[in-house]
């Protein structure tokens, strides 16, 4: 087991527009810990500049090298990183909200998922098979309102094999971490 990493003061000071780590963040860390030997982060993206800066400070607190990129999803990495990404982790805005709340650059961007909480997720799904290397792994945080089983089917149609690798109840939410690999990969394990 790895200790909970130190993290920058999200939600306070210069980072008031940054969502504090909560149950979803910690469940994701638990899922990643299961595959820790295979994982090494080198960059991250966020639409919120304050969140990117907070992530950089968190990486420094934990003596990690990380390059945050302020961008919308992962579009800036295509076509340059096509088929080159070994690990892709996405803790999207998944809360069901009115569509007009989606697209903010502030703290709302961390939770406002729109219809079925999937408006942002659905935009990145076509990019995933393009970005992942032959042995790449994609982790996705969902809640039951996002219909995780349907997400597995949608990405299955793009040649990715997916499964729930970890679930937990948090208040009224049922959080799940989905893990996907290319269907042809032999590295898939429970």
pLDDT in tens, 40-59: 778 889 988 999 999 999 99
The fraction of the chain above a pLDDT of 70, given in percent, is 96
- Whether 136 and 161 have beta carbons less than 8 Å apart is answered as no
Three-state DSSP at 153 gives helix
pLDDT in tens, 71-121: 999 888 999 999 999 999 999 999 999 999 998 887 888 999 999 999 999
Q: Is the pLDDT of residue 64 over 60?
A: yes
The residues, any chain, with a CB within 8 Å of residue 2's CB and separated by 6 or more, are 29, 33, 36
Average confidence score pLDDT of the chain: 91
pLDDT at 104: 84
Name the H helices within the chain: 23-34, 49-61, 119-124, 128-131, 148-156
Mean pLDDT of the 9-17 span: 89
Residue 163, phi then psi, degrees to nearest 5: -160, 160
Cα dihedral across residues 30, 132, 93, 41: positive or negative: positive
Q: Is the pLDDT of residue 188 over 70?
A: no
The CATH number fitting domain 22-39+72-182, selected from 3.40.50.2300, 3.90.1150.10, 3.40.50.150, 3.40.640.10: 3.40.50.150
Q: Which residue has the higher pLDDT, 66 or 96?
A: 96
Place of tokens 């999200």: 10
pLDDT in tens, 138-161: 999 999 999 999 999 999 999 999
Q: Is the pLDDT of residue 67 over 50?
A: yes
Mean pLDDT of the 13-18 span: 90
The fraction of the chain above a pLDDT of 90, given in percent, is 64
pLDDT at 126: 97
Count the alpha carbons within 13 Å of 117 in the hemisphere toward its beta carbon.
20
Residue 58, phi then psi, degrees to nearest 5: -65, -45
How many C-beta atoms lie closer than 10 Å to residue 16's C-beta?
A: 12
Residue 190 pLDDT grade (very low, low, confident, very high; cuts 50, 70, 90): very low
pLDDT at 37: 74
Mean pLDDT of the 28-35 span: 89
d(CA 12, CA 138): 31
Domain boundaries, the chain: 22-39+72-182
């Amino acid at each position: 087991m790895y200790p909970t990493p130190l993290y920058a003061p999200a939600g306070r000071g210069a980072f008031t527009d940054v969502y504090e780590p909560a149950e979803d963040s910690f469940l994701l860390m638990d899922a990643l810990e299961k595959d820790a030997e295979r994982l090494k982060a080198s960059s991250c993206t966020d639409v919120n500049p304050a969140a990117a800066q907070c992530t950089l400070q968190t990486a420094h607190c934990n003596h990690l090298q990380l390059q945050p990129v302020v961008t919308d999803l992962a579009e800036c990495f295509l076509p340059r990183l096509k088929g080159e990404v070994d690990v892709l982790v996405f803790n999207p805005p998944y809360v069901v909200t009115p569509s007009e709340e989606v697209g903010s650059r502030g703290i709302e961007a961390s939770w406002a998922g729109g219809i079925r909480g999937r408006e942002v997720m659905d935009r990145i799904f076509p990019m995933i098979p393009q970005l992942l290397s032959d042995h790449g792994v994609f982790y996705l945080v969902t809640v039951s309102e996002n219909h995780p089983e349907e997400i597995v089917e949608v990405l299955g149609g793009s040649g990715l094999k997916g499964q729930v690798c970890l679930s937990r109840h948090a208040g009224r939410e049922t959080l799940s971490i989905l893990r996907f690999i290319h269907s042809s990969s032999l590295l898939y394990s429970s």
